[in-house]
A and B are shown apart, each in its own frame.
Chain A
Amino acid sequence: MSTPHTIAEYIKQAEHNAEFAQYIRDKRSQYIDWSVTCLFYAAVHFVNAYFEKFGIPIPRRHRGDLGAPGRTNIVQSDPQLSAIYPEYRHLDDESRDARYELRRISEGDYDNFLRPLLDKISNFILPKVTNSDDMN
């Protein structure tokens, strides 16, 4: 299945979301609960870049069903991506806790735990998806 976006576009969107998370943390910390959602959606687009690189159809849903696995299910089952499953799941759960359970996060949470999770994901995926051909 082809997608309308390139690897470079997914990476650009991931970095865009990560920058917004950092902006909230640095400049608008009263809204820091939303920073973890931005980090999760940055992770989503890094994973999309990986899918695009390796010809994996990009799901429309985070969690799928028996006929069509969702993005999280693929991260879980892909032999390479499962290495970052814990980091991806942390951001998934922490963002859902912030949005739905009104869980408060602190700047310390962001600096010492949440942001490093995204850094691990990007450091894992970027070397696998970036080369001069893909990024042009």
Chain B
Amino acid sequence: MLNLREWRSREFQTHPCPHFYVFFVDNREHGDLCMTAVGVSSADFDVRESTAENSEWIYPEQQVARVLVDLFKEIPQVKSICAQFGDDQITVWTLLDSYDRDAREKVYGKELEVCRLLKIHNFDFRVTSADLVPPEDLVAAGSREIYNRPS
């Protein structure tokens, strides 16, 4: 079971962004993490300010990134994960160390798991290999590399 941090919402209310995610634990669903149907974009503010592990609270997209990384990195062929948090869509690139169809299938299973866990279905998932799409290219195009497997 993923270790999910509790949310504190007051910081979001004073932020100038017009939309923000709100997470809550739904006890009707066995304590699953749930999310409201509005979101905020990382383009609107700098999320890197509160990345410290001992930070009292974290931005919602950092929580999403943590869930993505925790689940996808379980697949040994996953070399890099890049994500772009848009206003109303989250694009996730999972890059494998080779063109491995068995590993792709495992990633697709994890995609379903992510959606079940977060109760959101507005992801644009993309799986390919790092030799076809280098993570540097995605970062240059506006994504953040949220995981890179140490070699």
Residues of A near any B CB (own CB < 8 A): 63-67, 69, 72-74, 76-77, 82, 85-86, 89-90, 93, 96-97, 101, 103, 113
Is B88 interfacial (CB-CB < 8 Å)?
Answer: yes
Task: Identify the interface centre among A73, A74, A103: most chain B CB within 10 Å of its CB.
Answer: A73
Give chain B residues whose Cβ lies under 8 Å from the Cβ of A69. Answer: 121-122
Contact check, A73 vs B105: say whether CB atoms are below 8 A apart: no
CA distance A66 to B38 in the complex (A): 7
Q: Is the interface of A mostly helix, strand, loop or mixed?
A: helix
Query: Tally of A-B residue pairs with Cβ under 8 A?
Result: 61
Contact check, B128 vs A76: say whether CB atoms are below 8 A apart: no
Given known contacts A85-B111, A89-B108, what 14 new A-B pairs fall within 8 Å (CB)? A63-B123, A64-B89, A66-B38, A66-B122, A67-B37, A69-B122, A73-B122, A73-B123, A77-B121, A86-B105, A86-B108, A89-B111, A97-B128, A103-B99
Tell me how far the C-beta of B35 lies from the nearest C-beta in chain A, rounded to whole angstroms: 10
CA distance A84 to B104 in the complex (A): 14
A65 and B88 in contact, given A90-B104, A90-B105 (Cβ under 8 angstroms): yes
Contact with A along B104-136 (1 / 0, CB 8 A): 110011011001000001111111100011000
Contact check, B125 vs A89: say whether CB atoms are below 8 A apart: yes
Contact check, B126 vs A76: say whether CB atoms are below 8 A apart: no
Task: Identify the interface centre among B38, B39, B122: most chain A CB within 10 Å of its CB.
Answer: B122
Contact check, A96 vs B121: say whether CB atoms are below 8 A apart: no
Is B101 interfacial (CB-CB < 8 Å)?
Answer: yes
Closest to B35 in A: A66
Tell me how far the C-beta of B57 lies from the nearest C-beta in chain A, rounded to whole angstroms: 22
Give chain B residues whose Cβ lies under 8 Å from the Cβ of A82. Answer: 112
Give chain B residues whose Cβ lies under 8 Å from the Cβ of A86. Answer: 105, 108-109
Closest to B89 in A: A65
Give chain B residues whose Cβ lies under 8 Å from the Cβ of A103. Answer: 99, 132
Identify 26 residue pairs between A and B in the complex whose beta-carbon atoms are under 8 Å apart, listed by A's number: A63-B89, A63-B123, A63-B124, A65-B87, A65-B89, A65-B122, A66-B37, A66-B88, A66-B89, A69-B122, A72-B125, A74-B121, A76-B121, A77-B121, A86-B105, A86-B109, A89-B108, A89-B125, A89-B127, A90-B101, A90-B108, A93-B104, A93-B128, A96-B126, A97-B128, A101-B132
Tell me how far the C-beta of A55 lies from the nearest C-beta in chain B, rounded to whole angstroms: 18
Tell me how far the C-beta of A28 lies from the nearest C-beta in chain B, rounded to whole angstroms: 24
Give chain A residues whose Cβ lies under 8 Å from the Cβ of B125. Answer: 72, 89
Closest 4 CB pairs of A and B: A65-B88, A101-B132, A63-B124, A86-B108
Contact check, B89 vs A85: say whether CB atoms are below 8 A apart: no
